[in-house]
Amino acid sequence: MPKITYIEHNGKSHTIEIANGLSVMEGAVQNNIPGIDADCGGSMACATCHVYVKEEWFNKLPKKEDGEEDMLDMAFEPKKNSRLSCQLMVSDQLDGLVVNLPEKQV
Residues that bind another protein (CB under 8 A): 37, 39-41, 43, 45-46, 48, 69-70, 73-74, 76-78, 80, 106
Burial call 52-86: b when 16+ CB within 10 Å, e when fewer: bbeeebeeebeeeeeebeebbeebeebeebbbbbb
Closest distance of CB 70 from another protein, Å: 4
Task: Pick between residue 4 and residue 36 the one whose CB is nearest to another protein.
Answer: 36
Task: Pick between residue 5 and residue 78 the one whose CB is nearest to another protein.
Answer: 78
